[in-house]
Structure 1
Amino acid sequence: MTTRDRLAELSAAGVSVWLDDLSRERLRSGTLAALIRDRSVVGVTTNPTIFATALSQGDAYDPQVRELASAGADVDAAIRAVTVADVQEACDLFRGTWENSGGVDGRVSLEVDPTLAHDSDATVDDAIDLWRSVDRPNLLVKIPATEQGIPAIVRVLAEGVSVNVTLIFSVERYERVAEAYLDGLTLAERNGHDLRGIASVASFFVSRVDGEIDRRLDALDTDDARALRGRAAVANSRLAYAAFDAVTASERWERLRARGATPQRPLWASIGVKNPDYPDTLYVSELVVAGTVSTMPEKTLQAFADHGDTTGDRVTGYADDARAVFDGPEAVGIDLTEVFLALESDGVAAFEKSWLELQDTVRQQLAAAQH
């Protein structure tokens, strides 16, 4: 009996499978190369939490930390050196994928300092410095879609830098991100950049939406509220995809596409299921649509490989149904604007906390290396 390759089926449906994890041990042990070879993985995303975990476990970073300590590097310089080195190695590993896909996949993401999320100028400076430091064409610099992040995204794209826009929770914010992409491409062309060399994804966070709305539904403690649990995140994502469809159908986009621009693909992020009552592949199977990215922690990736289902396009044409579902929480008294603001604030705070933990870990390692 032939064993089904469920991740290959997902890829064949037009969904790019990216791994939401990176570490030096994963690079050096060959486990990432194996995922590329055997699990249809065609890209990687990282965030401060991922690096904080990687640096705190094992000894893979010890030789570089000792070198940095001997050179007198401070904490921030050491973090930059360590994370850039990992991302460069991952970019090189994915170089063939990047070339074979025409620059669509084979991408590796590295985030700007999350403590700069509310400072446009500093975000721009950090993003451009990351782009130059990594010096790989298949890098995506991650910038959060905060109020201050939106203008930074425009300015960074205008410099020819490819961007992964992260921490998007609402359709309204996604629409602003999409507009920022078009603005950035327009300025990039004026600045003499080849639009074919600029890529972007819009990372729309999924599971956290259910987590926050479910919590508020539970607090209402009514049958009507309980009936709405676990449905908002998928509906919200489907509405975001409908907004993406509208952008790519616009005359403005068509003009940019004719000049070589590529679409800012929707990326489904935060798709690890946190509620054990829900299927562990829920946010993969229910968001299958060609031309998108599904970035998975390894646990979700392996779960989908074992028992996930690709049953055709689960997104296109679902906007009306999604709107009806998504109106449900508001009908029982939940303020969705407040939900999305809370999710963004919590997301930024979580990455800032991880960044501080990363700084503490590196500070301790530098100190230990000097003794």
Structure 2
Amino acid sequence: MAQNPNTQALSDAGVSIWLDDLSRDRLNTGNLQELIETKNVVGVTTNPSIFAAALSAGHAYDDQIAQLGKAGTSVEDAVFEITTQDVANAADVFKGVFERTNGTDGRVSIEVDPRSARDAKATVAEAKKLVEKIGRDNILVKIPATVEGLEAITETIAAGISVNVTLIFSLERYRAVINAYQLGLEQALAAGKDLSRIHSVASFFVSRVDTEIDKRLEAIGTDEAKGLKGRAGVANAQLAYQVFEQAFSTERWELLKDKGANRQRPLWASTGVKDPSLPDTLYVTGLVAADVVNTMPEKTLDALADHGKVTGDTVTGEYADANAVLDAVAEAGVDYTDVVDQLEEEGLAKFVDAWKDLLTSLDEELAKSR
């Protein structure tokens, strides 16, 4: 099969395309393999909302749920069994990509229980449990970038486990995430770990920044404020890439690199456009740079394949303009710190709610077979 020219152009520009979705139907039908072969998909990310949607649709999980119910499995253990099986099977699909890219891509992400996001010890314990259960080298454990999560990131990396740091909204927190990663690598090195086998991405959220800032700009109501709508998300991410370039060019990093360490790549998350007045590929074509990941919902991937225009690097020459956009947003009366703090709280709450909904609905299904 031939690759789509638009997704190929994005890949050629240095962007790894990961799908922000996973379901057993997608695995069973061969759709995931097809996306690898036709749309340059080289990885998958999941989260509690994705798993909740997958289990509520169709009948692909019916047999396993019935078996778990008959065995008297608790709902917590049932979720663990079902989600880790999907991730293990997806990791097998991506094994060829993983080997071809020397571990950079071909990755499948699975998130720790979001209810543990503010408990570093519980997060690390679950990360180790997930890695042991799935038993594949090409997974990433997703850990939210809360203040408590920073400690968990360092300890998990130090244990030699590859991590996808999620729910990053602010430049300040992103710098702290990079520091946590490098500290973990330093501890891993001291413990005799092979740094070349440890990988990480830092998931910087994009569209949610625009959604919240645009709502505040609309409420301010001036022409200047309204003229800034739809611009802050991309600007924020562009400046995150500048942070990435700076943090991975220091003497501290060079010492780790000489020992075989891999850079923690930026990953653009929340790239589905939520405002219909904005171009539906804005958070793809507007964030093209070398050595980044863009994880897309299928709707965004299809839009890129259909009409996305990749024009080369749209990030590294934009730092001055990006700073000007965020300065103008602040001058209009929007408090950046308040926005990113609110988004972190809301993001965690959404994941916790999705997880609780998943437990409730699955418990009802298990009860039918008990």
> TM (normalized to structure 2)?
0.98
User: Is the 8 Å Cα contact of residues 4 and 39 (structure 2) preserved in structure 1?
Assistant: no
Structure 1 residue matching 2:147: 3-state secondary structure: coil
In structure 2, the CA distance between the partners of 1:77 and 1:277, relative to structure 1 (3 Å rule), is same
Q: Equivalent residue for 1:328? A: 328
In structure 2, the CA distance between the partners of 1:335 and 1:56, relative to structure 1 (3 Å rule), is same
User: Is the 8 Å Cα contact of residues 4 and 38 (structure 2) preserved in structure 1?
Assistant: no
Question: Unaligned regions of 5+ residues in structure 2, if any?
Answer: none
Q: Equivalent residue for 1:220? A: 220
How many angstroms does 1:369 deviate by? 2.1
Structure 2 residue matching 1:42: 3-state secondary structure: strand
How many angstroms does 1:274 deviate by? 0.4
User: Is the 8 Å Cα contact of residues 3 and 37 (structure 2) preserved in structure 1?
Assistant: no
Q: Equivalent residue for 1:37? A: 37
Q: Equivalent residue for 1:21? A: 21
Residue identity opposite 1:183 in structure 2: L
> Does 2:299 correspond to 1:299?
yes
Q: Equivalent residue for 2:172? A: 172
**Distance in 1 between residues matched to 2:220 and 2:369, nearest whole Å:** 53
Q: Equivalent residue for 2:72? A: 72
* Pairing 1:200-349 to 2, within 5 Å after superposition: 200-349=200-349
Residue identity opposite 1:33 in structure 2: Q
Structure 2 residue matching 1:334: 3-state secondary structure: coil
**Distance in 2 between residues matched to 1:184 and 1:211, nearest whole Å:** 33
Structure 2 residue matching 1:275: 3-state secondary structure: coil
Deviation sequence 1:192-248 (CA, Å, 0-9, x none): 210011000000000000000000001111111101100000000010000000011
Residue identity opposite 2:327 in structure 1: D
User: Is the 8 Å Cα contact of residues 210 and 232 (structure 2) preserved in structure 1?
Assistant: yes
Deviation sequence 1:284-336 (CA, Å, 0-9, x none): 00000010000000000000000001101011132111101111111011111
* Pairing 1:54-133 to 2, within 5 Å after superposition: 54-133=54-133
**Distance in 1 between residues matched to 2:368 and 2:93, nearest whole Å:** 31
State which drifts further: 21-30 or 119-128. Answer: 119-128
User: Is the 8 Å Cα contact of residues 145 and 173 (structure 2) preserved in structure 1?
Assistant: yes
Residue identity opposite 1:58 in structure 2: G
**Distance in 1 between residues matched to 2:144 and 2:210, nearest whole Å:** 20
Q: Equivalent residue for 2:350? A: 350
**Distance in 1 between residues matched to 2:113 and 2:282, nearest whole Å:** 31
> TM (normalized to structure 1)?
0.98
Structure 2 residue matching 1:148: 3-state secondary structure: helix
**Distance in 2 between residues matched to 1:118 and 1:80, nearest whole Å:** 20
How many angstroms does 1:3 deviate by? 10
Quick one: percent identity of the two aligned structures? 54
**Distance in 2 between residues matched to 1:326 and 1:6, nearest whole Å:** 30
**Distance in 2 between residues matched to 1:114 and 1:76, nearest whole Å:** 13
User: Is the 8 Å Cα contact of residues 143 and 163 (structure 2) preserved in structure 1?
Assistant: yes
Residue identity opposite 1:297 in structure 2: P
Residue identity opposite 1:85 in structure 2: Q
User: Is the 8 Å Cα contact of residues 106 and 138 (structure 2) preserved in structure 1?
Assistant: yes
Residue identity opposite 2:136 in structure 1: R
**Distance in 1 between residues matched to 2:152 and 2:3, nearest whole Å:** 47
Deviation sequence 1:160-196 (CA, Å, 0-9, x none): 0000000000010000000001000001111221001
How many angstroms does 1:61 deviate by? 0.5
* Pairing 1:147-158 to 2, within 5 Å after superposition: 147-158=147-158
**Distance in 2 between residues matched to 1:344 and 1:229, nearest whole Å:** 21
**Distance in 1 between residues matched to 2:190 and 2:360, nearest whole Å:** 43
Runs of 4 or more consecutive aligned structure 1 residues displaced over 4 Å after TM superposition: none
Structure 2 residue matching 1:110: 3-state secondary structure: strand
**Distance in 2 between residues matched to 1:325 and 1:101, nearest whole Å:** 36
Structure 2 residue matching 1:369: 3-state secondary structure: coil
Q: Equivalent residue for 1:143? A: 143
How many angstroms does 1:4 deviate by? 6.3
How many angstroms does 1:67 deviate by? 1.4
**Distance in 2 between residues matched to 1:214 and 1:224, nearest whole Å:** 12
The count of residues paired between Structure 1 and Structure 2 equals: 369
> Does 2:134 correspond to 1:134?
yes
Deviation sequence 1:241-287 (CA, Å, 0-9, x none): 00000011101111111111111000000000000000000000000
